[in-house]
Amino acid sequence: MIEIIPVESPTIEDLKILRTLTEMGLAEIKAAAAHQTAIRQIRIFEGDWQSERQVLAKVYHQNRSEQPVPWRVRERDEFGEEEFLSPDGLKSRLEYWRSLELETQRNVDLESGLIATPEEFEPHDEDWF
C-alpha cells in the first residue's frame, strides 16, 4: 500500500495542494499532518486502480518537479513494514507495477488466443506514468 503523508506543519498553500489529493477537509489534513498519518492510501491493483494509478503518476511527477511538495510517500507492506520512498524509489515501484500490468495483459491475450506468440502483444492501454 502507498500512503501520502503530509508535511508536519503545512502552510495554507500546502493545504490547498494536499486538498487535491484527498477528499478530507482542511481540519482533517491538519490533524493528519500533526500525527503524521496518511491523507490517502492507495492499494496496488485494488479498488478503482484505473483512477488511483493516475493519482500515483501525479504524485510522482510533482515529486520530480523543481518545487518542493508538501507530502512524503510511504510504502507499507502487509507485515506493517514501512519505507519512505524517494522520487526514484517511487518511479521504480511504478515501473514494476506497470510491468505487471503488461505481463498480465499479454498472458490473457495468449490464453484467450488473441495472439499466438508473446511478440505479437500490444498493450491495451497507454502508459500512465
Per-residue pLDDT of the chain (129 residues; tens, 9 = 90+): 999 999 999 999 999 999 999 999 999 999 999 999 999 999 999 999 999 999 999 999 998 887 899 999 999 998 989 999 999 999 999 999 999 999 999 999 999 999 999 999 999 998 888
Residue whose C-alpha is closest to residue 24's, from 1, 8, 9, 6? 6
